[in-house]
């Protein structure tokens, strides 16, 4: 009997939860499904846990979540003795269950759990850690994944997601825990009665909204120039907070997509509830087209990512995460400069896979641009470093190409509530000047060149898919890649070895933490980055090219992407 079958038998005998017990009975005799559920333990890392809901060691359930929380308790006990931990959750199936289970475990282990009483955006959890002076935070969410997923993210006392070192330490504790006898819990009612579990009050929600509003650039922009907005929370957590902020900044004309307004873990009208996906925004665009509204804004289920479609020339154009980031950088620096509120030596931070157009624009506008690894915790770290030096005011923007943005230090994670506010404000400001956001982008391209950034993803699910991805990356590392798509490789960087090899054979160090990233700089200012996704079973390829016009830029992308697909064998 192989290990998967042994674990399956153990779970069948020991699981007491009736729903999970029935789930196990349903796969009796299905060797492939049993292997998928038990061939590994659900990975715990800097992004916590993320996986398909169901019974098994490789699934999201009360036992895997319980073990993660018990491991976190051991870490917190050793570091703090008694810790305060804030907890939030989204609209997904079992999110509230997992959040309450986490609170019960924390309380049973001598810690204090502060639980939002209803679903809330992920950035409000990051804010609560700072506001309530907590030592850690938990948010139960799978962000923009399909409905069959859920996840569990852990934050440190700095309100950023935990570092790789802390994740490894917690993982070591998790590995020693028996799912069925090693997890301490108390009833929720007992914790609420003795005060070891408390609900986070409305004061904290209001303080979060006030902190977001404090990041306005021009508080009168939307009052001076009214705009119309179609908004969709994609059946997630953004509805109350985003609409409250829009109302308070003076956006009176807001239509919400009715099919996507209320929380629904099935996401019935958007199987991929990700603002980067055209299908996720289609209902909102259709409504905007019917109403003739200026702009469409979408937030993902945990409201940390924002998507935008702009009415221009009578039709709606979706913006990429990179384009929104560039527009925010242009607007914030330009408008703060006009209003006399731009700090000396302003700083922006972006992930290494985000568009190089932002680097060029930052240079044009006198902004220091800092590149960090993917994962918004690394942007949060840069804010914390500025804070240590008393220079927090220098921070003007952090962004990732995957539609994550933050314009202030109120949180240490991407914040779509904050982003929606800035998007409305810059739409109103440029509308007052007779421009749409697409007009502004064209201005940027005229100054900086026609950049094109594209992200291609290749999905490899299950145990076999995981092995395929490992072999793919290992093969790339084993070979010397001299050209891609007919363009010479000028430098090849491997972030696992922290080394970049130049075309002449010389080497230079990569001064960023070790990460599973391969980077190729090509002649003609083109670049390619290959990395496995940290939250989905995908290989992601990031292209950045620049040319004199869009047609030529697309031609470069077409040629280079063919070369990459040949290298990957896809």
Q: Which of 395, 294, 381, 390 is nearest to 346 (CA)?
A: 395
432 and 557 both lie in a single domain: no
Q: Band of the pLDDT at 466, cuts 50, 70, 90?
A: confident
Residue where a domain terminates, one of 384, 419, 448 = 448
DSSP string, 117-134: SS---HHHHHHHHHHTT-
**Cα gap 294→218, rounded to integer Å:** 19
Phi-psi region of 303 (alpha: psi -120 to 50; beta: other; left: phi over 0): left
Angle between helices 122-131 and 416-431 (to 10 degrees): 110
Same-domain status, 324 and 430? yes
Which of these three, 416, 448, 480, is where a domain ends? 448
Residue 471 burial (CB count, 10 A): 11
Q: Rounded distance, CA 171 to CA 109, Å?
A: 18
Q: What is the DSSP letter of 48?
A: B
Query: In this structure, are 291 and 186 located in the same domain?
Result: no
Q: Which pLDDT score, from 0 to 100, does residue 464 have?
A: 82
Q: What is the pLDDT of residues 497-549, one digit of tens each?
A: 999 999 898 999 999 989 999 999 999 889 999 999 877 789 999 999 999 99
pLDDT at 462 over 90: no
pLDDT at 351 over 70: yes
CATH for 47: 3.40.120.10
Residues 105 and 186 placed together within one structural domain of the fold: yes
Same domain, 166 and 299: no
CA–CA separation, 53 and 62 (whole Å) = 10
Asked if residue 66 lies in contact with residue 181, where contact means CB atoms within 8 angstroms, the answer is: no
Q: Is 506 a catalytic residue?
A: no
pLDDT of residue 517: 93
Indicate the residue among 131, 165, 200 that finishes a domain.
Answer: 200
Please tell me the predicted confidence (pLDDT) of residue 392: 97
Catalytic residue among 91, 124, 143, 527: 143
Element (H, E) at 527: strand 526-532
Strands (E), 200-334: 228-232, 253-256, 295-299, 306-312, 315-319
Residues 279-316 have pLDDT tens digits of 999 999 999 999 999 999 999 999 999 999 999 999 99
Kindly state whether residues 433 and 470 are assigned to the same domain. no
> CA-to-CA distance for 542 and 354, rounded, in angstroms?
8
**Across 187-201, average pLDDT:** 98
Number of domains in the chain: 4
pLDDT given for residue 479 in this prediction:
83
Q: What is the mean pLDDT of residues 113-117?
A: 98
Least confident of 53-62, 203-212, 321-330, 512-521: 512-521
**DSSP category for residue 187:** -
**DSSP secondary structure code for residue 45 in this structure:** B
Does residue 570 surpass a pLDDT of 90? no
Q: For residue 20, how many C-alpha atoms fall within 13 Å in the half-sphere facing its CB? A: 21
CB 530 within 8 A of CB 518: yes
- Whether 191 and 305 share a structural domain: no
Are residues 167 and 275 located together in one domain of the fold? no
Kindly state whether residues 144 and 290 are assigned to the same domain: no
Task: Tell whether the model's pLDDT for residue 47 goes beyond 90.
Answer: no
pLDDT of residue 352: 95
Neighbours of 186 (CB within 10 A): 18
Q: How does pLDDT run across 313-327, given as a tens digit for each residue?
A: 999 999 999 999 999
Q: What is the pLDDT of residue 162?
A: 94
Q: Which of 304-313, 333-342, 450-459 has the lowest mean pLDDT?
A: 450-459
Q: Does one domain contain both 288 and 434?
A: yes
What is the token pair recorded at 238?
A: 């953004």
Residues 369-409 pLDDT 10s: 999 999 899 999 999 999 999 999 999 999 999 999 999 99
Residue 483 pLDDT > 90: yes
Position 324 scores a pLDDT of: 98
Residue 272 backbone phi and psi in degrees, to 5: -120, 90
pTM: 0.94
- Mean per-residue pLDDT over the chain, rounded: 95
In order, the DSSP letters of 549-563 are SHHHHHHHHHHHHHH
Residues 280 and 338 in one domain: yes
Cα-only R_g, the chain = 24
Question: Looking at the structure, do residues 57 and 193 belong to the same domain, yes or no?
Answer: yes
The CATH number covering residue 557 comes to: 3.30.310.50
Instruction: Provide the residue range defining the domain that includes 562.
Output: 450-568
Only one residue has tokens 């009208």, namely 269
The secondary structure element, H or E, covering residue 324 is: helix 321-339
C-alpha 153/C-alpha 167 separation (Å) is 11
- Token pair, residue 394, equals 């220098």
Is a pLDDT exceeding 70 seen at residue 1?
no
Phi, psi of 179 (to 5 degrees): -55, -30
């Amino acid at each position: 009997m192989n290990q998967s079958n042994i674990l399956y038998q153990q779970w069948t005998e020991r699981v007491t939860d009736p729903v999970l017990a029935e789930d196990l009975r349903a796969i009796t005799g299905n060797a492939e499904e049993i292997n998928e559920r038990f061939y590994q333990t659900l990975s715990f890392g800097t992004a916590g846990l993320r996986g398909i809901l169901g019974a098994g060691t490789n699934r999201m359930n009360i036992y895997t979540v319980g073990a993660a929380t018990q491991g976190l308790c051991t870490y917190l006990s050793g570091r703090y003795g008694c810790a305060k931990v804030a907890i939030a959750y989204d609209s997904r199936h079992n999110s509230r269950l997992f959040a309450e289970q986490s609170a019960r475990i924390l309380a049973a282990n001598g810690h204090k759990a502060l639980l939002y009483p209803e679903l809330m955006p992920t950035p409000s959890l990051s804010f609560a850690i700072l506001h309530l002076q907590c030592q850690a935070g938990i948010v139960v969410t799978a962000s923009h994944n399909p409905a069959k997923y859920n996840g569990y993210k852990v934050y440190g006392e700095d309100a950023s997601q935990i570092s790789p070192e802390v994740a490894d330490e917690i993982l070591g504790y998790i590995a020693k825990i028996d799912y069925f006898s090693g997890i301490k819990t108390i009833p929720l009612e007992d914790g609420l009665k003795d005060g070891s579990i408390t609900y986070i009050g409305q004061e904290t929600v209001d303080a979060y909204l006030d902190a977001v509003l404090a990041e306005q650039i021009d508080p009168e922009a939307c009052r001076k120039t009214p705009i119309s907005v179609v908004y969709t929370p994609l059946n997630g957590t953004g509805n109350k907070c985003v609409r409250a902020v829009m109302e308070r900044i003076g956006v009176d004309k807001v239509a919400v997509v009715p099919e996507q307004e209320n929380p629904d873990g099935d996401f019935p009208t958007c199987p991929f509830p990700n603002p980067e996906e055209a299908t996720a925004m289609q209902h909102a665009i259709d409504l905007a087209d019917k109403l003739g509204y200026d702009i469409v804004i979408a937030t993902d289920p945990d409201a940390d990512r924002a998507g935008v479609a702009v009415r221009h020339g009578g039709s709606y154009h979706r913006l990429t995460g990179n384009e929104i980031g560039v527009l925010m950088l242009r607007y914030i620096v330009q408008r703060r400069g006009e209003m006399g509120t731009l700090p000396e030596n302003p700083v922006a931070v972006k992930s290494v896979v985000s568009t190089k157009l932002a680097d060029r624009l930052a240079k044009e506008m006198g902004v220091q641009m800092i590149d960090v690894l993917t994962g918004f915790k690394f942007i949060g770290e840069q804010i914390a470093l500025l804070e240590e030096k008393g220079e927090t005011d220098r921070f003007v923007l952090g962004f990732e190409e995957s539609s994550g943005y933050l314009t202030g230090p109120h949180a240490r994670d991407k914040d779509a509530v904050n982003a929606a506010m800035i998007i409305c404000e810059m739409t109103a400001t440029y509308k007052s000047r007779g421009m749409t956001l697409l007009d502004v982008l064209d201005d940027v391209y005229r100054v900086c060149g026609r950049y094109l950034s594209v992200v291609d993803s290749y999905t490899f699910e299950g145990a076999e898919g995981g092995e395929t991805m490992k072999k793919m990356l290992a093969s790339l590392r084993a070979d010397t890649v001299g050209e891609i798509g007919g363009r010479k490789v000028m430098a090849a960087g491997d972030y696992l070895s922290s080394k970049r090899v130049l075309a002449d054979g010389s080497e230079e160090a990569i001064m960023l933490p070790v990460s599973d990233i391969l980077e190729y700089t090509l002649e003609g200012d083109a670049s390619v980055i290959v990395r496995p996704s940290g939250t989905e079973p995908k290989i992601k390829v990031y292209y950045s090219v620049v040319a004199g016009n869009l047609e030529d830029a697309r031609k470069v992308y077409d040629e280079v992407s063919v070369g990459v697909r040949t290298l990957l064998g896809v």
